[in-house]
Amino acid sequence: MKKIILALGSMQSAEMDLLEKEYHVIKLWKEKDPESTLQAYRLQIQVILSTYNGMPVTQKIIESLPNLELIAQYGAGLNNIDIGIAKARDIAVVSTPDAPTRDTADTAMALILTTLRRVVEADMFVRVGKWNSGAFPPSTSLAGKTVGICGFGRIGQAIAKRCVAFDMKVVYHSRCQKEDQPYQYFNDLKDMAGRVDVLVMACPGGQETYHIANAAIFTALGSRGYFINIARGSVVNTEDLLVALRNRSIAGAGLDVYETEPSVPESLISMDNVVLLPHIGGGTVEARSNMGQLVIANIRAHFKGDSLISPVVA
């Protein structure tokens, strides 16, 4: 008999098909009565498949599954999982940390380029025929600018490499200085924001980083500063960001993630000094395929009693 996997969100179809060949996959979000489905299978479910944009892995779900052994997260962030409860129950958690790194760093770079060089506005300028009435106004060069990266792990460091290639100076903030990194370290985010032209958020979401980018940070960044977020919407106080953009107390913003995604505040949509992406950081076929393969490999390893490939060390 096939083992049962409780899926709270979907991987790409190729990897879902592969998973369903080997396991009985319950897609909870598709169930008419999820509560009854959970009740019916509660004793057989040993593994949850979770995704950053699917149903959250709450205390309630974890507690309703007495034989749960593994939470396999399709994604790098873990803010959709109640890690504390999983840890208390001794439930293993795996994620796919490396798979989206380069593509997410590329997305940060795309946002830096589009906001500073006003690429989206320039595209519109051509499309609506304004070019016939005069040249597009000059934009802002990347070269020589200082970029401050908040969260200097896999993605933060991959962004740094790309910024260096664009002749930018890199500095960073995280809780600890990274001894192997050649860039200047700031132990205070506001201090760093006051010294940079571009502030990039690349830290995890969750309680600890909730609204760490707020009015004080935008004031420090100043009217010539740009704000980029590829981390999680929760790291930014959206109201403060809206005020800073509306008052032009920062120059612009490039956003891939939002507090209320997939809904985006109307007022952001109507602003011309923001570039808005629909959470596509790691959203390439290649990254998603690698993430899916890794999820499946971890689930197989778990059921075989082998060591997990990418366990989350809490």
- The question of whether 232 is a catalytic residue gets the answer yes
Active-site position among 232, 259, 288, 302: 232
Tell the smallest beta-carbon distance from residue 43 to ligand NAP (Å): 33
| Beta strand pairing call for 252-255 and 274-276 | parallel
Residue in 148, 205, 233, 254 binding ligand NAP, rule: CB under 6 A? 205
Q: Residues near 192 by Cβ (< 8 Å), separated by ≥ 6?
A: 148, 150, 171, 172, 173, 186, 199
Residue in 153, 222, 265, 311 binding ligand NAP, rule: CB under 6 A? 153
Residue in 24, 117, 154, 211 binding ligand NAP, rule: CB under 6 A? 154
Q: b/e for 72-83, b at 16 or more Cβ within 10 A?
A: bbbbbbbbbbbb
Stretch that binds ligand NAP, among 4-12, 33-41, 100-108, 141-149 (CB under 6 A): 100-108
Stretch that binds ligand NAP, among 24-32, 118-126, 153-161, 245-253 (CB under 6 A): 153-161
Stretch that binds ligand NAP, among 27-35, 36-44, 162-170, 230-238 (CB under 6 A): 230-238
Q: b/e for 25-59, b at 16 or more Cβ within 10 A?
A: bbbbeeeeebeebbeeeeeebbbbbbbbebbebee
Stretch that binds ligand NAP, among 13-21, 56-64, 196-204, 214-222 (CB under 6 A): 196-204
Residue in 80, 96, 104, 237 binding ligand NAP, rule: CB under 6 A? 104
Amino acid at 265: P
Nearer Cβ to ligand NAP (128/176) = 176
Beta-carbon count within 10 A of 126 CB? 11
Instruction: Return the residue matching tokens 């205070």.
Output: 188
Nearer Cβ to ligand NAP (3/154) = 154
SS3 of residue 213 by DSSP: strand
Structure tokens at 183: 């860039």
- The question of whether 261 is a catalytic residue gets the answer yes
CA–CA distances in Å: residue 189 to residues 103, 194, 203, 213, 278: 25, 9, 12, 9, 26
Where do contacts with ligand NAP occur on this chain (CB under 6 A)?
Answer: 76-77, 97, 100-101, 104, 150-156, 173-176, 202-205, 208-209, 230-232, 256-257, 279, 281-282
Among all residues, which ones are annotated catalytic?
A: 232, 261, 279
